[in-house]
């Protein structure tokens, strides 16, 4: 006897359309509903909601709107002005007035018609909001840095595995040809045994959280300061803090709303280094900077080196992978430099500069449909972020720390272990 299989949302739509044709003929069905004239039928569309659509989020939104199989249907932001701006952009794209606006992200997650969410808030919210989304049954495209500390990284990874949600960290360089090829050379042994991988963070300073002068708090509908703070420790309102990447004015400081330059840029360039070593667990030893280099060591002896100077001009986010028999460097210019032209082996690697996210968004949407694992999946993001967080611990303490991969604790180091996590402001919980 055949068993009944639960009907998916898309399967339901297909069945409903078919039933409509059979029972209501000669009802006219729009060609767009059937996928004609180049339109994507509703059964194949991914319905997306956006949360925190500021500068970076607005760029990501444009990448989603380019995709014919995306239906962007809701925007949530703590700023009224941003909600209005995004609604105008989305409604203009579709020629209607259907984009709904929300101030509280939980209202977006409660909508059963939304398949996936774009999370582009400040870093303070990324990890916790992604976990809420996963528990609500949504797939997630999450900007980086994805987490604020080691414990949050581990819980994020486990949450995605347990819920079976598709998670794509905004590490878009994984879907750019020259970076992918450079990492492939390292992973597949074309450089010999990999000995060193170099990352280039934007600053290696242990700048800790600072308080800014209190300013009058806007009306909640204009700016919801309480939701913006979210799980972060309370601090008085200051307009400068609304920019989660404003390092000079407190938004990107370690312990406030971000993780400083090591985490902001490291979640890109360290992520590429992790990919080069086959997304293995993070390093186990971290040393404070010396001569412009912060050296970390993997279990197998390979070194991950945060380096601030001495790079050839390949644009932002440069990486270098050194093996026993060769090396390769790549950067945001779209170009590579190789120790030998023979490493190309006759391949023509496309040069795409400017680190566009379109290919990364496409990878995410494809995986939403196939339930595959995207390039910037939660496990890969977890390992790269832990490396950055542990490096920040070594920076803050000004000494070597050792990380145990089995216990996920620092070895015999109470001060370091206190920095593995942080208390969350009520009522938020991981």
pLDDT in tens, 246-259: 444 444 444 556 66
- Flag whether pLDDT at 260 surpasses 60: yes
Q: 294 lies in a domain?
A: yes
Does residue 72 share a domain with residue 32? no
Residue 166, domain extent: 38-170
Sign of CA dihedral 385, 387, 388, 389: positive
- Flag whether pLDDT at 416 surpasses 90: yes
Does residue 328 share a domain with residue 418? yes
Does residue 209 share a domain with residue 153? no
| CATH code assigned at 63 | 3.40.50.720
Does residue 32 share a domain with residue 43? no
- Flag whether pLDDT at 401 surpasses 80: yes
Task: Grade residue 25 by pLDDT with cuts at 50, 70 and 90.
Answer: very low
Residues whose CB is less than 8 angstroms from the CB of residue 118 and which lie 6 or more positions away in sequence, other chains included: 48, 49, 50, 51, 53, 57, 60, 61, 64, 141
| 3-class secondary-structure state, position 403 | strand
- Number of domains, the chain: 3
Does residue 7 share a domain with residue 50? no
Q: 360 lies in a domain?
A: no
Mean pLDDT of the chain: 88
Does residue 198 share a domain with residue 104? no
Does residue 200 share a domain with residue 129? no
Boundary residue ending a domain (144, 170, 196): 170
Q: 265 lies in a domain?
A: yes
- Flag whether pLDDT at 407 surpasses 80: yes
Q: 370 lies in a domain?
A: no
| CATH code assigned at 217 | 3.30.360.10
Does residue 416 share a domain with residue 295? yes
Does residue 255 share a domain with residue 397? yes
For the stretch 85-94, pLDDT in tens is 999 999 999 9
For the stretch 26-73, pLDDT in tens is 444 454 555 555 567 777 899 999 999 988 999 999 999 999 999 999
Q: 372 lies in a domain?
A: no
- Flag whether pLDDT at 24 surpasses 50: no
Percent of the chain with pLDDT over 70: 84
Copy the structure tokens of residue 405: 């991969």
This prediction's pTM: 0.88
Least confident span in 212-216, 253-257, 412-416, 417-421: 253-257
DSSP notation for 57-95: HHHHHHHHHT-TTEEEEEEE-SBHHHHHHHHHHHHHHHT
Boundary residue ending a domain (139, 170, 201): 170
Does residue 304 share a domain with residue 234? yes
For the stretch 299-358, pLDDT in tens is 999 999 998 877 778 999 999 999 999 999 999 999 999 999 999 988 999 999 999 999
Does residue 411 share a domain with residue 398? yes
Does residue 270 share a domain with residue 392? yes
Judge if the upstream peptide bond of residue 427 is cis by omega within 30 degrees of 0.
yes
Tokens 């309370």, residue located? 234
Tell me the mean pLDDT in the region 282-310. 93
């Amino acid at each position: 006897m055949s068993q009944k299989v639960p009907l998916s949302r898309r399967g339901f739509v297909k069945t409903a359309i078919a039933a409509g044709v059979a029972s209501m003929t000669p009802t006219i069905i729009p060609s767009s509903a059937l996928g004609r004239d180049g339109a994507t039928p509703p059964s194949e569309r991914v319905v997306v909601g956006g949360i925190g659509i500021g500068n970076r989020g607005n760029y990501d939104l444009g990448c989603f709107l380019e995709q014919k199989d995306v239906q962007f249907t809701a925007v949530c932001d703590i700023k009224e002005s941003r909600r209005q701006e995004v609604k105008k952009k989305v409604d203009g794209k579709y020629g209607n007035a259907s984009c709904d606006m929300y101030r509280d992200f939980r209202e977006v997650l409660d909508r059963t018609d939304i398949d996936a969410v774009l999370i582009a808030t400040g870093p303070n919210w990324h990890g916790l909001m992604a976990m809420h989304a996963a528990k609500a049954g949504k797939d997630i495209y999450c900007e980086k840095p994805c987490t604020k500390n080691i414990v949050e990284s581990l819980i994020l990874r486990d949450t995605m595995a347990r819920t079976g949600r598709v998670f794509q960290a905004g590490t878009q360089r994984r879907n750019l040809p020259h970076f992918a090829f450079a990492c492939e050379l390292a992973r597949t042994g074309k450089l010999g045994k990999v000995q060193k991988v170099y990352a280039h963070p934007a600053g290696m300073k242990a700048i800790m959280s600072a308080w800014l002068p209190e300013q009058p708090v806007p009306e909640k509908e204009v700016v919801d300061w309480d939701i913006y703070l979210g799980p972060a420790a309370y601090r008085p309102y200051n307009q400068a803090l609304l920019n989660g990447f404003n390092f000079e004015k407190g938004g990107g400081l370690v312990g406030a709303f971000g993780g400083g330059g090591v985490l902001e840029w490291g979640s890109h360039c360290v992520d590429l280094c992790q990919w080069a070593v086959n997304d293995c667990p993070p390093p186990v030893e971290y040393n404070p900077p010396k001569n412009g280099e912060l050296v970390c060591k993997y279990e197998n002896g390979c070194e991950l080196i945060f380096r601030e100077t001495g790079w050839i001009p390949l644009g932002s986010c440069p990486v270098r992978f050194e093996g026993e028999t060769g090396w390769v460097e790549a950067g945001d210019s779209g170009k590579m430099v190789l120790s030998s032209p023979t490493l190309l082996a006759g391949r023509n690697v496309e040069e795409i500069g400017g680190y566009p996210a379109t290919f990364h968004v496409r990878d995410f949407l494809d995986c939403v449909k196939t339930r595959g694992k995207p390039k910037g999946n939660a496990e890969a993001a977890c390992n790269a972020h832990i490396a950055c967080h542990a490096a920040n611990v070594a920076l803050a303490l000004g000494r070597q720390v050792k990380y145990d991969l089995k216990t996920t604790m620092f070895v015999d180091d109470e001060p370091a272990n206190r920095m593995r996590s942080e208390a969350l402001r009520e009522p938020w919980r991981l």
